[in-house]
A and B are shown apart, each in its own frame.
Chain A
Amino acid sequence: MFDFVKTVLIALPKGFYTTFKHLFKKPVTLQYPKEKMPMAPRYRGLHYLEKYEDGSERCVCCGLCASACPADAIYMEPAENEKGERYSEVYEINLLRCIYCGFCEEACPEEAIFLGHEYEFSNDSRDAFIYTKGQMLANRPTKEKPFKKIIRKVRRIF
C-alpha cells in the first residue's frame, strides 16, 4: 500500500509536474529552415578569400595555409601577373577533407583566407565539393570579419 502511494501519488506526479510546467513557457527550439540561429562572430564555417579595397586579390600563393592544414585539403598553383606579382592561379579546397579547424586563417600572413559563417552547403555530387577560387571570392561577405585582431595574435605560431 505504501509503495502504491509512493509510486502513483507522489513520484509520478512529481515528474509530470516538471513536464507540464513547460507547457506555459516559451519554446527554446527554432523552426529551422524558416528561422536561423545567429552564429557567433568567431564561428568557423565555409571559407572565403579576401580582396584589397581596389579589387585585387590578397592571396600571394605562399602555401602556408596548405602546409598548416592537418587534413591536406588545400591545393594551389602559383603564377605571376604582368606586374610581376605572385597570385594563385588555382586555389582549391576539398570541402570533404576539410575539418574546419581554422589553421588556414591563422597561418595566412596576408589575411587572405577566412572561415565565414555559412554552414549550408550540402550537395549530391562529390565534384561539387571541390571549392574553387572563384567561388571563394564570390562568397566574400559584405562585412569584414570582426575578430581579425584575435586571429592576428594567434598567427605568430606559423
Chain B
Amino acid sequence: MTEGLRTEEFQVNMGPHHPSTHGVCRFILTMDGEVIVRAEPVIGYLHRSLEKICENRTYAQCIPVMDRFEYCTSMCCNEVFALAVEKLAGIEVPEYAEYLRVIMMELNRIASHMIWYGTTALDLGAITPFLYSFREREDILDMFEMTCGQRLTYNYIRIGGVSKDIPPEFIPKCKEFLATIDHKIDDYERMLTENPIFMVRNKGVGTLSPEMAIAYGVSGPSLRASGIKYDLRRDDPYSIYNRFKFDIPVCHNGDCYDRYIIRIKEMRESAKIVRQALEQLPNAEVNTGKMVKANFKPAKGEVYSRIENSRGEMGVYIQSTGDTKKPLRVKMRGGSYNQLQVMPELVKGVKIADVVAIMASLDIIMPEVDR
C-alpha cells in the first residue's frame, strides 16, 4: 500500500521572527514529511554595518560601537578592540586594569552562559530554568551597573585601561555572588542534567564530529564538546590569563547534551578565575590606566587580535594608515557565524523539533553573525 505512495518535498520557512532563532535568522527548510532534507540559513536581517561605522569613527569612539557587536558579552567585545589597538600602538596596560578587565570578562562570560542556559531550556519547553538563570544574571548586571553605569552596553574597557575604578561596594558584592554561585549552578544541574525529557531531546542529537568542526572553523564551547581541547585563554594567552589556574572542560560525543555539559562546567571555571583574580588584585596605588586621547593616531600597520568569547573565537582586524585618527579597515570575526554555517550539515535528516534544540545548543546569536 505505502509502496506506491509518493510524497512531495515541501519548503517551510522558519523565522525570521521565530523565538528560538535568538535574533532574526530565517531558515528555509526543505522537508520530506517531518524530516529535514536541506536547510538553508538566510542571514542579514540584523545587519547594522558595524564595520563601516567603525571606519568612520575615531579609535576611542569605536568602543561603544563594539558593545553592539555581540551584546551578551559586551565586555569581551570592548576588550578585543582595545587589545587590537594596544597591540598596534604598543600601549601598556597597568596591572590593576588588567585584573579588572579579567574580572569583568569572566563575569560577563557567566552571564552569557546563563542566558544560554535559560533560553535553551525555554526552547525545549521548560520555563523554570529561564527564570532561575536570569535571577542570577541580575546580580552580575547589578555589579556591572555599579561599576560602569550600564547594564547591557558597558563601554567600560577602553584603549589603554578601563574607564572607571570599581566602587568600594563591588568587591563584597562580588564575593557574596561567588560564594553562592556554585550552589546555584548545582540547582541548574538538578533541573536539567538528569532530566529524562531533556536527555531524550539532546542526547545523540546534532552530533558534530571533530573533523567537521575544524573544517567549518567552529570554535569555543561547541568545539570543545567535540573533543578538541582548544581554548585561546590557554593556547594563546592574552591579557593576564596565564596567571590563573583553571581547567578547560572537554567532552567527546559532540552532541547537544555535551555542549550543555561543557557550558555548565565553564561557568564554574569562570567563577574560579574571578575568585583567583579577586585574591590577587593588587591593592597598591590604584591605576586604571592612561587612556588614549581622542585624536590619537596609531602607527601605520595592521593587526589582528583574538580572544576567547563565550561563543568561540572573537577577533578584530584593524588596518591603520598612520596619518588619520580613524581606522582604514575594521573586520570583525564572531564565533556564531561559523556555528551557523555548520547548522545545515547538522540538521540533515533530523525532525523539525530538533532544529530548535541544535540551534539552541550551538548558542548562535544573530548580531554577531550579521554585524
Q: Chain A residues in contact with chain B, CB under 8 A?
A: 6-7, 10-12, 14-15, 17-19, 28, 39-44, 67-68, 70, 99-103, 106-107, 115, 150, 153-154, 156-158
Q: Which of B63, B150, B187, B194 counts the most A-chain CB atoms under 10 A from its CB?
A: B150
Q: How far is the CB of B136 from chain A (nearest CB, A)?
A: 10
Bound-state Cα–Cα, A99 to B68, Å: 10
> What are the residues of chain B within 8 A of A19 when measuring CB–CB?
128, 191
Asked if A99 meets B153 with Cβ closer than 8 Å, knowing A154-B163, A154-B164, the reply is yes
CA A39 – CA B155 in complex, angstroms? 18
Contact at B294–A42, with CB atoms within 8 Å? no
Query: A15 contacts which chain B residues (CB < 8 A)?
Result: 190-192, 195
With A11-B194, A101-B155, A157-B291 known as contacts, the answer to whether A40 contacts B128 (CB < 8 A) is no
Nearest A residue to B292 via CB reads: A157
Whole-angstrom CA separation of A10 from B291 in the bound complex: 56
Interface residues of B (CB under 8 A from A): 57, 60-65, 67, 128, 135, 138, 142, 145-150, 153, 155, 158, 163-165, 167, 187, 190-192, 194-196, 288, 290-294
Main secondary structure of the interface of A (DSSP, over half): helix
The answer to whether A28 and B190 touch across the interface, beta carbons within 8 angstroms, is no
Min CB–CB distance B6 → chain A (angstroms): 39
Q: In the assembled complex, how far is the CB of residue B82 from the closest CB belonging to chain A, in whole angstroms?
A: 13
Given A18-B187, A68-B61, also A42-B145 (CB < 8 A): yes
A18-B190, A18-B191, A102-B155 are contacts. A70–B65 as well, Cβ < 8 Å?
A: yes
Smallest Cβ distance from B141 to chain A, in angstroms?
Answer: 10
- Given known A11-B195, A15-B191, A18-B191, contact A42–B147 (CB-CB < 8 A): yes
A42 near B164 with CB under 8 A, answer yes
Residues in chain B near residue A99, CB distance under 8 A: 64, 153
In this complex, which of B57, B163, B187 has the most chain A Cβ atoms within 10 angstroms of its Cβ?
B163
With both chains docked as a complex, state the minimum distance between the C-beta of A21 and any C-beta of chain B, in angstroms.
Answer: 9
CB distance A115 to B149 under 8 Å?
A: yes
Chain A residue nearest to B191 in the complex (CB) = A15
Known A70-B61, A101-B153; contact A42-B148, beta-carbon cutoff 8 A = yes
A156 to B191, CA, bound (A): 50
Q: Which residue of A lies closest to B145 (CB)?
A: A40
Given contacts A14-B194, A40-B145, A42-B146, contact A150 B164 (CB under 8 A): yes
- Would you give the shortest CB distance from B138 to chain A, in whole angstroms? 7
A67 proximity list for chain B (CB < 8 A): 294
14 example contacts (A-B, Cβ-Cβ < 8 A) are as follows A7-B196, A15-B191, A40-B146, A42-B147, A43-B145, A70-B64, A99-B64, A101-B64, A102-B149, A106-B163, A156-B290, A157-B291, A157-B292, A158-B294
Complex: chain A residue closest to B288, CB-CB = A153
A28 contacts across to B, CB distance below 8 A: 135, 138
Q: Is the CB of B196 within 8 A of A43?
A: no
With a cutoff of 8 Å between Cβ atoms, the chain A residues found around residue B61 in the complex are 68, 70, 103
Q: Nearest Cβ distance between residue B126 and chain A, in whole angstroms?
A: 9
On whether the beta carbons of A40 and B135 are closer than 8 Å, the reply is no
Q: Contacting B142 at CB < 8 Å: which of A40, A103, A115?
A: A40
| Shortest Cβ distance from B295 into A: residue | A158
In the complex, how many angstroms separate the beta carbon of B225 from the nearest chain A beta carbon? 22
What's the Cα separation between A40 and B151 when bound, in Å? 10
Residues of chain A with a CB closer than 8 A to B135's CB: 28
The reply to whether A12 and B145 contact each other, CB–CB distance below 8 Å, is no
Most A CB contacts (10 A, CB to CB) among B61, B147, B158 go to B61
Q: Are B191 and A43 in contact (CB under 8 A)?
A: no
A11 touches B196 (CB 8 A): yes
Query: Which B residues lie within 8 Å of A100 (CB)?
Result: 150, 153
Residues of chain A with a CB closer than 8 A to B147's CB: 42
| Closest chain A CB from B329 CB (angstroms) | 18
B158 neighbours in A (Cβ, 8 Å): 157
Let me know if A42 and B149 touch, CB within 8 A. Answer: yes
Q: Which B residues lie within 8 Å of A101 (CB)?
A: 63-64, 67, 153, 155
Chain A nearest CB, measured from B286 CB (Å): 10
CB-defined contacts of A18 to chain B, threshold 8 Å: 187, 190-191
B291–A154 contact, CB under 8 A? yes
Complex CA gap A55/B26 in Å reads 56
**Least distance between A27 CB and chain B CB atoms (Å):** 10
